[in-house]
Structure 1
């Protein structure tokens, strides 16, 4: 049992990767559609590339979206509108009118006979109005303009009524005026006019619920098909253009295949196929990391980070497609290469982006167009996004990516539609939204730095600020070391720019590479401003131990101040496995059998271009201070000697740096040192 536990403990990193691999595969397959892929790939307007296609089974021809839309418009246009009539209103109005008129008393201006006549004429008017119905202004707007009748519901009965017979609000006042025009008394006419205009109320209203219900039933009852293809019937010939009827039949065949072929009985096989394809894609990513990014592969935190971002992009794209495939291009997939390039490098960012896009091809419609468009955008992203700490760079880069999206989609649309007039302009707006959402990359980078403890250029910019607490402390305790670090940072940054390395990373690493000297600043030459050398009172091996320990002390201080591991790597590697040669020779003169390992740094040796650059620049800057006459020839010979010694000691065998790049670095350092040590013109006294 103990052996098993020991084996598990020894291989815990590998076991973690296997578990992560399985979880990621299952999660991605779960997000995939629950049907298989249609075995034919066809595009409208392009030739049929396969052999003559015959129907393997009977299936119905589905109506196109345009046809269904036209049918819907026709049904809506022809649909009858329902209105409801309230009988109680007519009765209430009539009773109210009679009651109010009976309150009148005969007078000189209005006789009893005229009152009765007014009551009779008013009742006749009310009866005539409510006999056909009085509709309100809101419902009047719903009256059909393309029909002469409506369906009027009275209780449980529905009858068809002519639109012309229905009284509208704008007809009421003329009808009242005409009805009482025979009365001689002006008082009687005015009184009756005011009373009728006040108490007459509409008794017909639009019945929206019943109208919509009948419309829905009509829409649901329509046929979604327009014919049938029988088994063994020819669908399309090889080389024929896929358009019009043939395109519609192929789409119908594709839909019918879902029910005919992708049944529950073969569902497990479909899932198995998806699983194999997803596993292969993820395996390619792991192999890429193991082969070309060993440091990342060995760091489970970084592998988890990469897999998490892949799942996140696939999840978001899947949710958008399920919600509405019209918003397919809103998802800012360019965030993935931006984020990965910010923390790692462009090659890894593009490789991961391409694999993610290929996996998304199983989910999205028009997969070829989607894959082509996003791969082109990903390439532009990794080529243009740099120095994210400069806001203008990110803005320009995302603008270029958005433009590429639009141009590529424009080209695809012309190919499919045949002319510019049919291009869907909505997609250009979606690409603009995509570009705006891509700026969320800055937010994600900040969050990922906190969660996964990674370092981006933005953090490096903050760390390279010489007013930071740790660098201020270095300046106060070891001012000579601080100035040395500043000079090395300038040299390293220039060298990195020359060979295309991460200049911000190497500059920041250079500023912190010697912070361990703060523990014993006076034991290092650059801080001995008084001319007193404390090494004069120490044995050579003790002096060497103090010098060697500045690396260990630097690592401890860096961890105390929570510096990122990428910066601590520069502290670990800036001397590699070199020897404190001066004190070794001094000890050898006293003790010829002394072990050189006691005077050797513990390493490791540089394992990246950036750490190799720092080693060269650090040694060059320090050695240049020993030149009594820093002429061009002396500087040239010194740099060549230092770099050749580092090569012979195999200090660069683990770093991804070429001889050509080393020569470029040497040239930059020589030029910079010559500018520093050049002789000035003597000024007259």
Structure 2
């Protein structure tokens, strides 16, 4: 047990990566749909590329959306209208008519005419209430069927046009009076009817809608079926019409059928294999080509977190409405990784993420093509992210590529631009605007994961920062030396393709530890008094060596990033404080050499190695007397070769060719500083 614990302790970094790998895999698999996936890709109007396809099981042929829509419209148009009949209204109307007739009609009317007119009114009332009088005029088609209900029981069925509307009553009365020759009594007779007539029909909206919904629910979403073993489509046949609908039905059946517990576990297992394979490729890439990142668990966690975040957001959008899939700014991933690491890692991670998303998005080939092309454009166009204009220009280019690629796919699928979905272009624009969110996201990541981007490096390179201001006030000579080293280091980094911004910032801050005892360093001794004259060689060496330790403490106190602190740690490596060592050796030949060595570590990157070379060359160049081109060449060669002999660059991934390029830059720069002309042979 003890051995096992020791083994875990020795390999805790790998154990952490294994846990991260497993947890990320299961989180992504949890988000994936747990259904079968149709293994064939097909497009409407295009030839079937696979072998002859036979039905693997019995399945129903689904109707198209247009067919279902047409059926719903037909049912809605033919739906019955339901009206409630109010009982007792007819009896009440007749009773009021009888009593009001005597009051409204003149007594001078001849008895026979009066009786005839009285009976005419009763006949008209009977005709009005044969079907019923509506309480208001509804905007329904005249030919629709109306069902009259008495206490929820169907009384009779008529056409809606047969129901009497109140604004038609006057026309009916006038027509009947004219037919019987009683037009002279039109005014009092119509006035009488408008006093006594009451509506007895009211529209039952709730019951009508319930009946309509019941009819709509009876719609069948399938038409016919395909038996197992039936040929669905042959190789080379064009996918269209009924064949297209059968293929869509089979695809839908694969994705929606109810799976047994055994099938479910197999699908989860298969998804786990695919996801773990993709994430394993990402880990292997880091292990082989970005080992410094692989060894840093925080950075590996950061990369896996961003991959999972893109999958998570895309899954949410697909589950809500897959039409909005292109609003998700996937290109933020390569932007973020390029800002913190490099373009190659950004593109590789982007491709892995898009491959994972291909399992959950519709039209996976189209989606993957668009996103990979957009990712490549992102990597190729976005440079110097700290410049705001560059980001806006790049986002515009990414959006344009989305639009062009989508347009091409649409024309290929549909064969024309008549039905082009312009709203999709709007989604690409929204995606571009969302991509601009990368700037605040990078800032948040810097705080959460302790990473450093070019934006932060640009801020740190400002010589008006509090720490550099303090350095210029307390140790002006050191500050000037740091500026010169920064210029040399930046030029050298540009020459070999290293991170110029990082090495410049590292050079500006590498000697901040000298603020603690500025006068003990030659560049700050303006009075001609040397404090080392009062110290022993060992004490002097300790003061010189301590500027590295002091620099680290000051940097941490001022919250400088670890990547910048690395330059303070390594800019002298494990080199010797040579002057005081030789001085002490003259007194005591058995002196311990380690007492005069810097604590290290040695430079472990191209950037830290560049700083060591530039710092040594710039500092020593002040001792050159009557410099010439040949003297400068020999001087640079001697200093850097000595560092190579001391194996100071053993841990840095820098080549001999790159070192030679740096020497060339340093010689050229020093020649410019001393305003030297080319030496011509005599």
TM range (shorter): 0.7 to 0.9
Does residue 450 in structure 1 map to residue 447 in structure 2? Answer: yes
Does residue 82 in structure 1 map to residue 78 in structure 2? Answer: no
Deviation for aligned residue 1:174 = 6.7
Does residue 513 in structure 1 map to residue 478 in structure 2? Answer: no
Does residue 480 in structure 1 map to residue 477 in structure 2? Answer: yes
d(CA) in 2 for partners of 1:634 and 1:402? Answer: 56
Task: Report the counterpart of residue 35 of structure 1 in structure 2.
Answer: 35
The CA deviation string for residues 361-388 of structure 1, in whole angstroms up to 9 with x for no partner, is: 1112222222222111111112222333
d(CA) in 2 for partners of 1:634 and 1:33? Answer: 72
Deviation for aligned residue 1:27 = 1.0
The CA deviation string for residues 612-636 of structure 1, in whole angstroms up to 9 with x for no partner, is: 3322332233233333345555444
d(CA) in 1 for partners of 2:500 and 2:186? Answer: 100
Does residue 618 in structure 1 map to residue 615 in structure 2? Answer: yes
Q: What is the CA RMSD across the aligned residues, in angstroms?
A: 3.8
Deviation for aligned residue 1:545 = 1.9
Does residue 577 in structure 1 map to residue 578 in structure 2? Answer: no
The CA deviation string for residues 103-124 of structure 1, in whole angstroms up to 9 with x for no partner, is: x999xxx96789x999999999
d(CA) in 2 for partners of 1:377 and 1:600? Answer: 52
Structure-2 change in CA distance of 1:465 and 1:165 (3 Å): same
Q: In 2, are the aligned partners of 1:364 and 1:370 still within 8 Å (CA)?
A: yes
Task: Say which of 643, 647, 654 aligns to 2:644.
Answer: 647
Deviation for aligned residue 1:596 = 3.4
Task: Report the counterpart of residue 534 of structure 1 in structure 2.
Answer: 531
Deviation for aligned residue 1:94 = 5.4
The CA deviation string for residues 543-590 of structure 1, in whole angstroms up to 9 with x for no partner, is: 222212211111111111221111111111222233222223333333
Deviation for aligned residue 1:2 = 4.5
Deviation for aligned residue 1:604 = 2.1
Deviation for aligned residue 1:522 = 0.9
Task: Say which of 457, 460, 466 aligns to 1:463.
Answer: 460
The CA deviation string for residues 293-312 of structure 1, in whole angstroms up to 9 with x for no partner, is: 22222222222222122221
Structure-2 change in CA distance of 1:566 and 1:185 (3 Å): same
Deviation for aligned residue 1:512 = 1.4
Does residue 393 in structure 1 map to residue 386 in structure 2? Answer: no
Task: Report the counterpart of residue 337 of structure 1 in structure 2.
Answer: 334
Deviation for aligned residue 1:242 = 2.9
My pick for the range that moved more, 92-101 or 273-282, is: 92-101
The CA deviation string for residues 483-537 of structure 1, in whole angstroms up to 9 with x for no partner, is: 2222322333344344443333222222211111111111111111212121222
d(CA) in 1 for partners of 2:99 and 2:590? Answer: 133
Deviation for aligned residue 1:19 = 1.6
d(CA) in 2 for partners of 1:493 and 1:641? Answer: 22
d(CA) in 2 for partners of 1:239 and 1:532? Answer: 94
Give 1:24-103 correspondences, 5 Å limit.
24-76=24-76, 78-85=77-84, 87=86
Does residue 282 in structure 1 map to residue 268 in structure 2? Answer: no
Structure-2 change in CA distance of 1:614 and 1:200 (3 Å): farther
Task: Report the counterpart of residue 438 of structure 2 in structure 1.
Answer: 441
The CA deviation string for residues 220-246 of structure 1, in whole angstroms up to 9 with x for no partner, is: 222222222223222222233333332
Task: Report the counterpart of residue 151 of structure 2 in structure 1.
Answer: 155
Task: Report the counterpart of residue 270 of structure 1 in structure 2.
Answer: 267
| SS of residue matched to 1:530 | coil
Task: Report the counterpart of residue 248 of structure 1 in structure 2.
Answer: 245
My pick for the range that moved more, 523-532 or 436-445, is: 436-445
Unaligned runs of 5+ in 1: 681-685
| SS of residue matched to 1:326 | helix
d(CA) in 1 for partners of 2:619 and 2:599? Answer: 20
Does residue 237 in structure 1 map to residue 261 in structure 2? Answer: no
Q: In 1, are the aligned partners of 2:571 and 2:608 still within 8 Å (CA)?
A: yes
Unaligned runs of 5+ in 2: 678-682
| SS of residue matched to 1:404 | helix
Q: In 1, are the aligned partners of 2:35 and 2:256 still within 8 Å (CA)?
A: no
Structure-2 change in CA distance of 1:630 and 1:127 (3 Å): farther
My pick for the range that moved more, 264-273 or 556-565, is: 264-273
Structure-2 change in CA distance of 1:467 and 1:177 (3 Å): farther
Q: In 1, are the aligned partners of 2:83 and 2:146 still within 8 Å (CA)?
A: no
d(CA) in 1 for partners of 2:480 and 2:153? Answer: 99
Task: Report the counterpart of residue 680 of structure 2 in structure 1.
Answer: none
Task: Say which of 280, 284, 309 aligns to 2:306.
Answer: 309
d(CA) in 2 for partners of 1:549 and 1:92? Answer: 115
The CA deviation string for residues 118-175 of structure 1, in whole angstroms up to 9 with x for no partner, is: 99999998887666555577x723x137x35444444313443333334557657777
d(CA) in 1 for partners of 2:7 and 2:672? Answer: 58
Deviation for aligned residue 1:186 = 12
